[in-house]
Amino acid sequence: MSLTLGDVVAVLDRHHPPETAQSWDRVGLVTGDPTHPVRRIHAAVDPTLAVVDEARRLRADLLVTHHPLLLRGVHSVATTNAKGRTVTDLICSGVALYVAHTNADVADPGVNTALADALGLQHVEPLVVEEGQPLGRVGELPAGETLAAFAERLDTVLPSAPGGIRVAGDPGAVVRRVAVLGGAGDSAFDAVRASGADVYVTADLRHHPVLEAREEAAGGPPYLVDAGHWATESLWLRTALDRLVAALVADGHDAATVETHVSEVRTDPWTFTVGATGPGVPTTGEHR
């Protein structure tokens, strides 16, 4: 039977219930007519102008993004500002926009389970519960490995980004219990400590919270890994699309009628890094 935007939204809402999003979040269908047919679905972390242009060039009918386009109130969608141009491009190109943000973070499978799976974590459980929903994950590696080896393996799992991976901790320390929280995560340090994690993988770590956390740890665990906001949330995209197609087939739709594509646009805002030090360079900030 003919697949409509409404059919796809129903499945996306089932996989990422809007009511599980944080109270401040803005998720769901942003633009588009639920009665219109859908043949091509595009997915990206951010609904930037370049991503929308990519979706248009691929003749996508629907763009699914993790981050909202209209998170905060706007008073104009005129093309004199970036958000206005984005909304105009979406509507004029006939590309619907659907957002799954914190409701995708807490989903199982979702953003954080994709990250945990990519690292091979076992016995995975929620890291913390916020507003009644499980946020982040914590689990065990099959075997211990050094912090340096863990960070290098993480680098092979995640898409490449200019900022690379920043690590706070002794490169030779052995880690096994791992906490993950895709996107910004320095608000969860207390939960990470309570979880007994040896290392915490997240992003957007700020100087003062990290410095204080490392001082409290006295050079020991939990060690901290800032792997980049865009990179840590990118892994979810293919998982979400594959699950979406499987559900549509289960609902009676022909898989051959829908194509899916993950964006090749790197929406990490950084361009390049200069002067980064590797794990072999000693620092004076850690107790030995």
Q: What are phi and psi of 222, to 5 degrees?
A: -80, 135
280 has pLDDT over 90: no
- What is d(CA 161, CA 44) in angstroms, rounded to the nearest whole number? 15
Per-residue pLDDT tens over the stretch 13-22: 999 999 999 9
Whether this model's pTM surpasses 0.85? yes
4 has pLDDT over 80: yes
Which single residue is written with the structure tokens 């994950």? 137
- What tokens does 169 get? 């901790």
Per-residue pLDDT tens over the stretch 170-223: 999 999 999 999 999 999 999 999 999 999 999 999 999 999 999 999 999 999
3-state SS assignment for residue 284? coil
- The per-residue pLDDT for 283 is 57
Q: Taking the chain, what is the end-to-end CA distance rounded to the nearest angstrom?
A: 65
